[in-house]
Amino acid sequence: MTHEVKRFLAGRAWIQGTWARDVVLTVAADGCWLNVLPHASAEQQRGAVRLGGPVLPGMVNAHSHAFQRAMAGLTERRRQGTAAGVDDFWTWRERMYSVARRITPEQLEAVASLLYAELLQGGYTQVCEFHYLHGAPDGEPPGAPLEMAMALVRAAQRVGIGLTLLPTLYMRAGFGADALGEAQRRFASTPDSVLRTVEAVARLAVDPETHKTSPGALLGAGVAVHSLRAVDGVALQEVAAHARKVSLPVHIHAAEQTQEVEDCIAHTGLRPVEWLLQHAAMDARWNLVHATHATQAELQGVRKAGASVVLCPSTEADLGDGVFDLPGYMALGGRWAVGSDSQVSRQWTTELRLLEYTQRALLRQRNVAASAAGRDSTAAALFEAAIAGGRAATGQRIGAIQSGHRADFVVLDGQSPALLGIPPDHVLDAMVFSSPSPRLCDVFVAGQAVVSQGRVVGNASTAPLGPQLGSAFSAAMAELWR
C-alpha cells in the first residue's frame, strides 16, 4: 500500500483497449489511480518517474490451488496399473490427494510464497485462491481452524500480491455419497465454517486507522463451492444466500469432466450448469470454473445471468479435460477470465496463447478470438476479455489503468528478444504470441513496486526475495517427497 502520491510517466500505456502515448500516471495515497493523462505535455510530464518500457494493467489469476505448485512436473509419468493403461483426470486426482493429505501450514506457506512470487513475475497482480485444505495433515492433531488459510494470507502479504481468498465448501465424496472419502478428510467444511473464515479474512482487510476497507486493499474474500458433486443443494444455497447478502463473489467448479456431467444427470436429471441455472439464482457475482462441457444453451443462460466463466487452459490441457467453446461463448458476449489452477503454468501469456492455439487446432482456423470478438488483434481480444472477467472474479475495482481502480501495472522490458524490432502497435501481439514472452522489468501492486528489474522484492524490502523463497520451497519439497 502506498502512503504518498506518486507520479509516473509511461512512453506507451494500454488504456481502454489501445495504446496511448506519453501517459502521466498518478497514484493516490490509498494505492488507487488518482489521474491518468495521455498525451501529456512536457510541462505536465515534469517530475514524473519515467518507466522503462510499455505499461499494461495487471492481470487477475481467477483460479488457483496454491498447494498444487508442489506437484508441477511430478505427474507426467504414466501410472502403472491403470485400466487399459489410461491415465486421466481421475487418476491424477488420486496423486493430488497424496499431497493434499500431507502438506503442513508451514509447507503451504513456503510453496504459496514461491508460487505467488512467480505469478507476479508472470504478470498477475491478484490471485483468487480456491482454498479447501481446511483441516490438519494426516496423523497430526487438529490445528486452529484458520491455520491453513492464514498461511496463504501470509504468503501473499510477504511477496505483495493481491489475494482474494475463497474458502471452499466441500462436504461429500460425490453424487449420492453422504460423507467425504478417507483421502478427503482435510476438505471437511460446513456453510458455517466457510463463512467464519470469510469473516476472519474480512476483518484482516480493514484498515486499523480508518476502520474501513481501503479501495486499494490487497486482501479480500469471496466464497466457493467445490462442485455440485461435493455439496448438496441446501448447503450450496445457504452459502450463496450469504454471499448475495454481503455482495461477495461466488466460485464453483462446473462441467469440467464428462463423467461429472454424466453423474450429475444420473442423480439430478440435469447437467451441472443446467442445474445451477435452474436452482442457484446465478447473477453477476458467480464464476463457473472450467465449464468445459457446457452446451450452447447453457452458455446462453450463463451470459443472460451475467455470470462469468473461468478458463484454465494449461491445466485443462494437462488433465485432458476437453476444449471449451470459446468462439461460441465470445460471440454471445460472455464474460470470462483465466487462472493458473494446478500451476503447470504461471504466466497469463501462456494461458491466452494456449487458449487461442487450442481453438485453432480444433477449428483449423486462425485468429479465432479476434473473429469472435469482432476485433483486428487476437491478443487484444483475449487480453481485454481476461481483464474484464478477472475484475468480476474478485469483486474489486482492478484490472484497468483508470481513475478509481487499484494501481496495478506491469512494465515490459522493451529489449526482450520477442519485442526487438516490433512496431509499437504490435507489442501486445508479440507479448502473447512470440514465445518466450517478453520479460517484465517491474510489477506494481497498489502503486508499490513488488518486482524490480525482474526480481521479486515484496512490500517490505528492496532486497530480492528469490533466494529465501527458493530455499524454503526446496526444503518443503524435500519433506513432502522424501
Q: Nine-digit cell at 253?
A: 467448479
Q: If you write DSSP's letter for every residue of 374-400 in order, what string do you get?
A: T-S-HHHHHHHHHHHHHHHHHTSS-SS
Nearest to 197 by CA among 261, 157, 248, 237: 248
Nearest to 14 by CA among 437, 401, 421: 401
Within 10 A of 450 (CB to CB), how many other CB atoms are there? 25
For residue 125, give every residue at least 6 positions away whose Cβ sits within 8 Å of its Cβ, in sequence order, or none.
58, 59, 60, 161, 162, 398, 408, 409, 410, 443, 444, 445
Residue 97 exposure: Cα atoms within 13 Å on the Cβ side: 15
Which residue is catalytic, options 30, 325, 341, 408? 341
Please provide the size of the chain in residues: 482
Nearest to 186 by CA among 101, 104, 105: 101
Amino acid occupying residue 29: A
b/e for 249-288, b at 16 or more Cβ within 10 A? Answer: bbbbbbbbbeebbebbeeebebbbbbbbbeebebeebbbb
| Cα–Cα–Cα angle for 171, 172, 175, rounded to 5 degrees | 130
Which residue is catalytic, options 290, 325, 408, 442? 290
Annotation says 290 is catalytic: yes
Annotation says 178 is catalytic: no
Round to whole Å and give the CA distance between 133 and 65: 10
What SS3 state is found at 440?
Answer: strand
Round to whole Å and give the CA distance between 372 and 239: 35
Return the active site residues: 290, 341
